[in-house]
Amino acid sequence: MIKRPTKAELREQLMQQTQAFLQQGGHVDEVDNGATGLVNGSYRNAGFILNPQRQERTPLNNVLAQIDSRKPSRQKPAVSTSIKQSSNRKKVIYDDFGEPLRIVFE
């Protein structure tokens, strides 16, 4: 199993790499607080439009009405209120090992 480095070990490793970079002649630029990498202090907004013009939509009400008129009309089956549906519930009986033995209706 591979041991993950702790935060202290990572910090020490980064410090060593930074010191090695500086000793080889590397240079670190200091940046003022509040400075930004944005161009003129704003995001590059050429890729998206904030307020697009609303496009006209084609009304399809007559097309939908024609499609609906071609569908066969469905009638709900008549339900007799005098017949009471059984409220039996299926219950599975399991043995000690979790295997189903039988089904009982309660």
Structural domain contains residue 96: yes
> C-alpha distances in angstroms, 15 versus 11, 20, 24, 76?
6, 9, 14, 77
pLDDT digits (tens, 9 = 90+) for 47-79: 666 667 777 888 889 998 998 888 887 777 776
Q: Phi/psi of residue 12, each to 5°?
A: -65, -40
Residue 1 lies in a domain: no
Q: Flag whether 49 is in a domain.
A: yes
- Structural domain harbouring 31: 7-105
Q: Sorting pLDDT into bands at 50, 70 and 90, what band is 18?
A: very high
Band of pLDDT at residue 14, cut at 50, 70 and 90: very high
Whether residue 70 is contained in a domain is answered as yes
* Total structural domains within the chain: 1
Domain-located, residue 2: no
User: Domain for residue 65, yes or no?
Assistant: yes
